[in-house]
Amino acid sequence: MTGFVKVGKVAEVPPGRVQVYEVDGRRIAVCNVDGAFYAIDDVCTHDGGALDQGQLEGDQIECPRHGARFDVKTGRALTLPAVLPVKSYPVQVAGDEIRVEVA
């Protein structure tokens, strides 16, 4: 699948929260940072844990298993034990729909 696909509605992801959607067999974590939406793979690159189970603080999400932190805007690994980034995806908001580009 290519291009932007609807994953959910704006109301499903309040500020400071994360909602996971499955797109093309991938778990995509949509994060609301002060009204701006970002999307990353919902898998810690250190050990495969689900990032949506961790804390979203500002534009950083912490894996609940070992404390690795990632920038949800870029996917960049910010702290050990993770060294590899998570994949990030472009997001569009159209009306009340959240759309993610999974190419």
Residue pair 5/25 in contact by the 8 Å Cβ criterion: no
pLDDT at site 2: 62
Q: Which CATH class is domain 4-101?
A: mainly beta
pLDDT digits (tens, 9 = 90+) for 82-100: 999 999 999 999 999 999 9
103, pLDDT greater than 80: no
pLDDT at site 29: 98
Q: How far is CA 57 from the centre of its chain?
A: 13
pLDDT digits (tens, 9 = 90+) for 18-53: 999 999 899 999 999 999 999 999 999 998 889 999
